[in-house]
Structure 1
Amino acid sequence: MSTDPLPLERLAPRRVLVDEAVAAVRNLLMDQTIRPGQSLIIGRLATALGVSHTPVREALASLESEGLVVKRPQRGYFATELLTNEEVRELFELRLLLEPWAAAEVAAASRHIDVSGLRAELDQFATSLRSGPEPPYRLLCDHDIRFHGLLMRLCGNRQVAQAFARTHCHLHLLRIQSRASKADVTRQEHEAIVSAIESRDLDAAADAMRTHLNESCRRAISLRCQT
Structure 2
Amino acid sequence: MRATVNAGGDGAPLSLSEQAYRAIRDRLVMLDIRPGMPIKEDQLAASLDMGRTPVREALKRLEGERLVVAYPRRGTFATEVNITDLAHISEVRQQLEPVAAAKAALRATPADRIALGELGAELAPERISTLSPEQLMRLDLRVHRALYAATRNPYLEDTLVRYDNLATRIWCLFVDRLPGMAGHVGEHGPLLRAVVDGEEERAARLAAEHVAGFEREVRALL
Do both proteins adopt the same fold according to a TM-score greater than 0.5, normalized to the shorter chain? yes
Is residue 118–residue 150 contact of structure 1 (8 Å, CA) maintained in 2? no
- Secondary structure at the aligned position of 1:135 is classed as helix
Q: Counting helix residues as a fraction of each chain, which structure ranks higher?
A: 1
Q: Which amino acid aligns with 1:95?
A: R
Q: Which has the larger radius of gyration?
A: 1
Coordinate RMSD, CA, aligned: 3.6
Cα distance in 1 for residues equivalent to 2:42 and 2:198: 53
Pick aligned residue for 1:176 from 160, 170, 175: 170
User: How much does 1:212 deviate?
Assistant: 0.8
Q: Structure 1 residues 35, 199: CA separation in 2 closer, same or farther (over 3 Å shift)?
A: closer
Runs (5+) with no aligned partner, structure 1: 1-11
| Percentage of matched positions with identical amino acids | 28
CA distance in 2, matches of 1:106, 1:31: 26
Aligned to 2:43: 44
Partner residue of 1:30?
Answer: 29
Matches within 5 A, 1:203-214: 203-214=201-212
Matches within 5 A, 1:1-227: 16-85=15-84, 87-104=85-102, 106-107=104-105, 109=106, 114=110, 116=113, 117-123=115-121, 135-147=135-147, 149-153=148-152, 158=153, 162-163=155-156, 165-167=158-160, 168-178=162-172, 179-180=175-176, 184-198=182-196, 201-222=199-220, 225=222
Relative to structure 1, the CA distance from residue 90 to residue 41 in structure 2 (aligned partners, 3 Å threshold; closer, same or farther) is: same
Measured in 2, the distance between the counterparts of 1:128 and 1:72 equals 44
Question: Structure 1: which amino acid aligns with 2:205?
Answer: D
Deviation by residue 1:14-43 (Cα, 9 ceiling, x = unmatched): 965444433443343233232212221223
* Counterpart contact for 1:69–1:79, Cα < 8 Å: yes
TM-score (norm 1): 0.68
Partner secondary structure for residue 45 of structure 1? helix
Q: Is the 8 A contact 2:83 2:170 kept in 1?
A: no
- Which ranges of structure 2 fall in alignment gaps of 5 or more residues? 7-12
Structure 2 CA distance for aligned equivalents of residues 135 and 187 of structure 1: 11
TM-score w.r.t. structure 2 length? Answer: 0.69
Aligned counterpart, 1:8: none
Q: How much has 1:221 moved relative to structure 2?
A: 3.7
Equivalent-residue separation in structure 2 for 1:58 and 1:31 (angstroms):
21
Letter paired with 2:92: L
How far is 1:211 from its partner?
1.1
Shift of 1:113: 6.2
Cα separation, 2, equivalents of 1:50 and 1:203: 46
Q: 1:176 to 1:205 in 2, by over 3 A?
A: same
Query: Is the contact made by 1:99 and 1:152 (CA closer than 8 Å) also made in structure 2?
Result: no
